[in-house]
Amino acid sequence: MTRVLPRRSALDPIDPDELVQRYARVRARTEALAAPLSSEDMALQSMPDASPTKWHLAHTTWFFDEFVLPRLDRDHRPEDPRWRELYNSYYEGVGARHPRHARGLLSRPSLDRVRAWRAQVDERMLTLLPHGDPDSLTVAILGMHHEEQHQELILTDVKHALSCNPLRPAYAQASPSLAAPADPAGEAPAMRWIAYDERMATIGDGGGGFAFDNERPRHRAVVGPFLLGSRPVTNAEYARFIEDGGYQRAELWLSDGWSFAKSDGLAAPLYWEGDRGWEGDPAAWNAFTLHGRRPLDPHAPVAHVSFYEADAYARWAGARLPTEHEWETAASSHPVEGNFLDTGRLAPARAQGAAREAQLFGDVWEWTASAYLPYPRFRPLDGALGEYNGKFMSGQMVLRGGSCFSPREHLRPTYRNFFPPHARWQMAGIRLARDP
């Protein structure tokens, strides 16, 4: 007989057998993402915000070694206590941490040792999970979602690292299962404005399944009236912003954004390459992708723009960015369907048909106008795990919806991603809103 353990809600139990399968699936997906990479690829750290793939492999393993296995086995001892400092990301309550910007200097332990450690931790986890108590299993589930976040980071960080190579090497050529699919025929549907009446909306996680602490508590908020764009902004639409001098018009930009655009010499989204000139034609651009250098698809959602660029574009278009409450109000009536990591495309896809037109999930994360702040009566988790989200609630903006690098099972309408407003290496795009 299968033993069933409660989550936060007794209405949504945990099946230990299902949990074991999910753990194995998540860990195997990480290995599959690393498979096309050489050992040299996995050691690269191209900027302070990114991390080497080898570090991601080790850090996600450290999470289970540090926070889960000691709960499942009181006699558990770490593989090497010194590794705690190397692979602790930001948990001050755990102890010393190796500087983030210097993760690319960690040539030891070797990649082989890191992978052997992963295998050892997996063996122990798969043995002990079926016998875990509810608290241990709750932390194990958190660890799986944590690893799914790092799966997306592996792809964004590898993309940035490979883009620094003049050869413009493709990540995905090494794996036939990741071959670049052909772009669908036809243009993206015309963007429409969808009206939402003013309402008292219920925002945040309501229990009955996994959610991060920053999605709680569920609360009510007055939302609307507002109009929301029926799909994300496309490359062709963003190209018209560039053609109209969007990067040279200070009146469109927030003060910090204008300083950032000038100091970093912004002229187009990250990874756009206009070797054939501009002339108002998005087909004049190429873009670096995980499939290598490819012609820019004018009808796909624009990606790799900062919050500052998204906000400037919205002003230029006579609109604004939606608040996260507006976004969640719209998304709550849509199934979590779209172009995710699971499809293997690894690039935003143009909208096709009624089912794909909204594109609220997948393809590109969508910047909102909302600062990343705690919900009313927010309480972080106890202990070191309380550092997971709460201490970053300053100087960040909220993104919603997931991307083509996000695992499907990781997402839900209440999910709150967050990055600083200058971040461009993430798969972030734009959806417009405006007032009636």
CATH classification at residue 63:
1.20.120.450
Burial class (CB in 10 A: 0-12, 13-18, 19+), 301: buried
Q: Phi then psi for 155, rounded to 5 degrees?
A: -70, -45
In terms of domains, do 158 and 197 share one?
no
Determine the angle formed by the axes of helices 53-63 and 134-163, rounding to 10 degrees: 170
Q: Is residue 181 part of a domain?
A: no
Burial class (CB in 10 A: 0-12, 13-18, 19+), 249: middle
Could you give the C-alpha distances from 220 to 217, 334, 367, 375, in angstroms and in order? 10, 20, 22, 10
pLDDT in the model for residue 388:
82
In terms of domains, do 27 and 120 share one?
yes
In terms of domains, do 266 and 371 share one?
yes
pLDDT in the model for residue 183:
62
In terms of domains, do 285 and 426 share one?
yes
**Domain count of the chain?**
2
Cα 162 to Cα 171: distance, rounded to the nearest angstrom: 8
pLDDT in the model for residue 177:
54
Could you give the C-alpha distances from 30 to 206, 223, 372, 383, 399, in angstroms and in order? 29, 39, 28, 27, 23
Strand 292-295: give its sheet, edge to edge: 272-273, 286-289, 292-295
Give the dihedral of Cα atoms 238, 241, 246, 252; nearest 10 deg.
-90
In terms of domains, do 121 and 264 share one?
no
Considering the entire predicted model, what is its pTM?
0.93
Q: Residue 398 is part of which domain span?
A: 193-434
Q: Is residue 333 part of a domain?
A: yes
In terms of domains, do 277 and 314 share one?
yes
pLDDT in the model for residue 179:
55
For residue 343, count other CB atoms closer than 10 A to its CB: 14
User: H-type helices in 268-384, by residue range?
Assistant: 307-316, 324-331, 353-357
Ranges of the chain whose pLDDT falls below 50 = 1-12, 276
pLDDT in the model for residue 9:
36
Q: Is residue 172 part of a domain?
A: no
Cα 63 to Cα 147: distance, rounded to the nearest angstrom: 9
Query: Which residue matches tokens 């029926």?
Result: 230
pLDDT in the model for residue 17:
84
pLDDT in the model for residue 13:
56
**CB distance 216 to 204 below 8 Å:** yes
Domain CATH number, residue 294: 3.90.1580.10
Query: Which residue matches tokens 């764009």?
Result: 229
In terms of domains, do 250 and 154 share one?
no
In terms of domains, do 146 and 232 share one?
no
pLDDT in the model for residue 7:
38
pLDDT in the model for residue 79:
85
Cα 70 to Cα 82: distance, rounded to the nearest angstrom: 17
In terms of domains, do 121 and 208 share one?
no
Query: Which residue matches tokens 């991060």?
Result: 212
pLDDT in the model for residue 383:
80
